[in-house]
């Protein structure tokens, strides 16, 4: 299991378009990936409805938790996406 805190740097956060791209990227990995918010709310990273409903904004800190066969790779790719580095 890999855990990493990330401060979201996407201009519009994980609103409609950003959420769709994030979920699409997460769905490319076999690992189970969860977004944990400060309120200890857990969101499945492969759920478009869950990610959009979370309304994660730029500057918000989240924790990515990946568990599975490609956990390192999935965490690194999603972290880069949230940091707007891809």
Number of domains in the chain: 1
pLDDT digits (tens, 9 = 90+) for 31-81: 999 999 998 899 999 999 999 999 999 999 999 999 999 999 999 999 999
pLDDT score of 85 more than 80: no
Gyration radius (Cα) of the chain, Å: 11
Domain that holds residue 24: 2-82
| pLDDT for residue 74 | 97
Whole-structure pTM over 0.85, yes or no?
Answer: yes
CATH of the domain at 19: 3.30.1340.10
Within 8 A by CB and 6+ apart from 29, the residues are 66, 68, 70, 73, 74, 77
């Amino acid at each position: 299991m890999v855990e990493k805190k990330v401060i979201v740097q996407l201009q519009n956060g994980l609103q409609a378009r950003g959420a769709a791209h994030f979920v699409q990227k997460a769905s490319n990995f076999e690992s189970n990936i969860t977004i944990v918010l400060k309120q200890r709310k857990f969101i499945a990273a492969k759920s478009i409805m869950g990610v959009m409903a979370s309304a994660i904004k730029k500057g918000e800190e989240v924790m990515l938790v990946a568990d599975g066969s490609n956990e390192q790779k999935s965490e690194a790719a999603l972290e880069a996406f949230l940091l707007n580095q891809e």
